[in-house]
Amino acid sequence: MGSSRSQKVVIFLLAVNLLAVVYAIVVYNKTLESGMSRAASTAEKREEANVPVHNVSIGWTRPNTIYGLIHVAKTAGTEINKMLSNKYERVCGNKGYSYDAVRREKNRYAHAADWVDIMFRHPKAQALWGGGVWNRARVPIEIMEERGFEDCDYIAHEESADKWEQIYKQWPIELHVPCREPISHLMSMCNFQKNWVKIIKDDFNCNAPDLIREIQKCDVGLWRMHKQLLNQQNVTLKCFDPMPPQRYLDYMDKFLQPKRVQLKVKDRVINSVAHNKSEECVWHQTEKWRNNLIQIMRENHLFYKFCHDCLGTSDELPLAPVAAVNSNTK
Ligand SMILES: *[C@@H]1O[C@H](CO)[C@@H](O)[C@H](O)[C@H]1NC(C)=O
Ligand SMILES: *[C@@H]1O[C@H](CO)[C@@H](O)[C@H](O)[C@H]1NC(C)=O
Ligand SMILES: *[C@@H]1O[C@H](CO)[C@@H](O)[C@H](O)[C@H]1NC(C)=O
Ligand SMILES: *[C@@H]1O[C@H](CO)[C@@H](O)[C@H](O)[C@H]1NC(C)=O
């Protein structure tokens, strides 16, 4: 008797328990559902009022693409690389990175120890790349590749086109091609070859029977613009006039994240050795002659052809007019 009584008590208690569990589930369900609908309506209201969930003036939203500079010699590429890495985060270039830009620029002209970091003074580095030439503002491609490009928003390469492959195989990239007025650019290269690196002995000769060879003599890296970059799934090519470079720097300000510590540094003149235009034969020729030279340049170098085809189209970056920059900056 006693045992059947206690069995009833157990069954009663179990029933009470079961009810409590069902009740809890129902309440929980209702709470969840009302919470969900509240969240949904808040999201709708946000969308209506167009209020961002995160305050963008506090955080930073990376652009959907990364940017790259095809650093063709004598197109202000060093200035651009240097200035962007001084001002913005995650710029990676052989002429300087954002992360050590302060040490780079502060000690650059003082030849202090920070200028050439320990890595470049290592005997192994000296053996690999020769002494003294490499530093924070002249980073060997092997070091760039070892660091990797995973954290770069902007990459500047003074290298052959195949070096872009490891980047565009992984991420979409918008590559910027610096297109100067072609004959000024050619003269700038000739001057560099003759008076700075002293690789050639003679000036560009307007009377030479073979102008293709005269152009080749001065070529400092026109091959950095290569057909392998055309029609690549992940590569968007854009052109811009880099003279004066400030217009391009102002344009990139829309896409790159400002750094907490920005160094003000002096701009360098584009050519390491100034050249004297009146001593350059091309400027004493007829316009027809110069147009013919430009034609030869286009036919023999993709870089000049690409620039010609791109400038003035929707693929040219919309930089501010030259006059606007001149009045804003000195
Ligand atoms: C609440 O219960 C209903 C049915 O009664 C069910 O369709 C719904 O998925 C439940 N919600 C949650 C959040 O479990
Ligand atoms: C975002 O942050 C800025 C700076 O702190 C502030 O002035 C602004 O009111 C904020 N905007 C919103 C929508 O919270
Ligand atoms: C383009 O980039 C995507 C990743 O964004 C990658 O999966 C794809 O293989 C790349 N395509 C080419 C042709 O490199
Ligand atoms: C440029 O060259 C011309 C001719 O050789 C010379 O008369 C002139 O003084 C030079 N100008 C400069 C700024 O060196």
Highest mean pLDDT among 105-109, 196-200, 295-299: 295-299
| 3 touches ligand 4 (CB under 6 Å) | no
Q: What is the mean pLDDT of residues 28-54?
A: 54
Q: DSSP assignment of 47-112, as one string?
A: HHHT--SS-TTTS-PPPSSEEEEE--TTSSHHHHHHHHHHHBTTEEETTEESTTHHHHHHHTTTT-
Task: Examine the pLDDT at 135 and tell me if it is beyond 70.
Answer: yes
Where residue 126 sits, what CATH number does that domain have?
A: 3.40.50
- Give domain status of residue 164, yes or no: yes
CA distances in angstroms from 119 to 85, 123, 204, 304, listed in the order given = 20, 9, 40, 38
Residue 6 banded pLDDT, cuts 50, 70, 90: confident
If phi > 0 it is left, if psi is from -120 to 50 it is alpha, else beta; for residue 111 that is left
Tell me the average pLDDT of the chain.
84
| 29 touches ligand 1 (CB under 6 Å) | yes
pLDDT digits (tens, 9 = 90+) for 255-299: 999 988 887 766 554 555 678 888 999 999 999 999 999 999 999
CB 225 within 8 A of CB 70: yes
- Give domain status of residue 16, yes or no: no
- Give domain status of residue 285, yes or no: yes
CB 301 within 8 A of CB 307: no
53 C-alpha to ligand 2 centroid (Å): 12
- Give domain status of residue 40, yes or no: no
CA triplet 253, 254, 255: central angle to 5 degrees? 90
Residue 49 banded pLDDT, cuts 50, 70, 90: very low
Nearest CA owner, ligand 3 atom 14: 169
- Give domain status of residue 309, yes or no: yes
**Closest ligand 4 atom, residue 279 Cα:** 2
Range of the domain at 133: 53-328
Window from 132-146, 258-272, 312-326 with minimum mean pLDDT: 258-272
Interacting residues of 143 by C-beta distance below 8 A, sequence separation 6+: 119
pLDDT of residue 327: 47
Q: Please indicate whether residue 15 or residue 207 has the higher confidence score (pLDDT).
A: 207
CB 178 within 8 A of CB 78: no
- Give domain status of residue 266, yes or no: yes
- Give domain status of residue 36, yes or no: no
Q: How many Å apart are CA 203 and CA 218, to the nearest integer?
A: 9
| 142 touches ligand 4 (CB under 6 Å) | no
Window from 33-37, 161-165, 197-201, 209-213 with minimum mean pLDDT: 33-37
**Closest ligand 2 atom, residue 58 Cα:** 2
- Give domain status of residue 10, yes or no: no
- Looking at the structure of the chain, the number of domains it has is 1
CB 174 within 8 A of CB 109: no
Window from 9-13, 131-135, 250-254, 268-272 with minimum mean pLDDT: 268-272
Nearest to 176 by CA among 324, 321, 306, 322: 306
